[in-house]
Amino acid sequence: MPGADAREAARTVTGELEALPFLPELPARGPGADMIGRTLGMLVELYARVEPSGWRFGDRPGRDTRRAWAWLREDLDAFEEFTQGYEGPLKVQAVGPWTLAACVELHGGQAALSDPGACRDLTASLGEGLRRHIADVRRRVPGAEVVLQLDEPSLTAVLQGRVRTASGYRTHRAVDRAVVEGALREVVTAAGTPVIAHSCAPAVPFGLLRRAGVAGVSFDAGLLTEGEYDVIGEAVEGGTALFAGVVPGTDAGSSAGPAELSDPAGSVSGVRSLWRRLGLPPGTLGESVVVTPSCGLAGASPTYARRALAHCVKAARTLVDDPE
């Protein structure tokens, strides 16, 4: 979400989303509030600090780690205030193990992705940290049915060997798909709650994510290709929920927002077309699809972010009220 006011973000999210509110992230506050820094603050017995090149693992918790802890507590306190008495699904977010491994450096300056042992340690630490984080959310909001979103925008690049080394002249070797799947399954199991895998990159590996045990996949619907339609159909028939990113994530500085927000039914027309092409029952649209922005709203204006969330709700209702 945009801005730096935790209470305002919590008020907006809980006010616009009655069915699936989420714990906001406010990266505009700086390192430690960004998606990578926030998740690093959740790790158990692993710590990181900010270097000129980005986040790097260290030996002890320093200023950057303590800042990440403080901002997460602030966000949780604000969210707890606005979810008193809430019962139902509630979403929290964290970065998945492979995007972390691609984005965080070891002591020598190379990405953790370059060291299989470091990847294993990172995965184990993340799993335990998420288990504790989810338990804290459940304690604060006793009626919540917590859903975890794992953000993995670098997952496809990891699988295809496209993550660049520190020098920028080479790329890290592609990680074996079985290893990737196993690490994701470990985190999903440790979380002990339904997990949604999110990627706003092209070529999301739907099949691998399903095998890893995720309950749903969140993606930018505008990046889908015809070659992915069949695997999406298999996912839906197998019970996987689709979090379809069909609403633009930014208004490009305009408080009015793009024209797409004037037509809720039009926003999901592509989803309806996909359903017809796959021969799926129209009545399952409302059961299988969650309407979302194409990616995060941190780059949008606060006004647009509120309108985009409200628009997602309206667009989703058209799938339920008028599936055809």
Q: Is 305 contained in some domain?
A: no
Q: Is 225 contained in some domain?
A: no
Checking if the pLDDT of 321 tops 90, the result is no
Checking if the pLDDT of 323 tops 90, the result is no
Cβ neighbour number for residue 307 with a 10 Å cutoff: 19
Residue-number span of the structural domain to which 120 is assigned = 6-214
Report whether 18 contacts 34 (CB < 8 A). no
Q: Is 245 contained in some domain?
A: no
Q: Is 117 contained in some domain?
A: yes
Q: Is 143 contained in some domain?
A: yes
Query: pLDDT tens for residues 128-169?
Result: 999 999 999 999 999 999 999 999 999 999 999 999 998 888
Query: pLDDT tens for residues 278-299?
Result: 999 988 998 999 999 999 999 9
Checking if the pLDDT of 171 tops 70, the result is yes
Query: pLDDT tens for residues 192-213?
Result: 999 999 999 999 999 999 999 9
pTM of the model: 0.94
Q: Is 297 contained in some domain?
A: no
Q: Which residues lie across from 219 on neighbouring strands?
A: 199, 244
Q: Is 85 contained in some domain?
A: yes
Checking if the pLDDT of 53 tops 70, the result is yes
**Angle, helix 302-321 to helix 6-16, in steps of 10 degrees:** 20
Report whether 18 contacts 66 (CB < 8 A). no
Q: Is 59 contained in some domain?
A: yes
Average pLDDT, the chain: 94
How many independent structural domains does the chain possess?
1
In this predicted structure, what is the pLDDT of residue 261?
A: 86
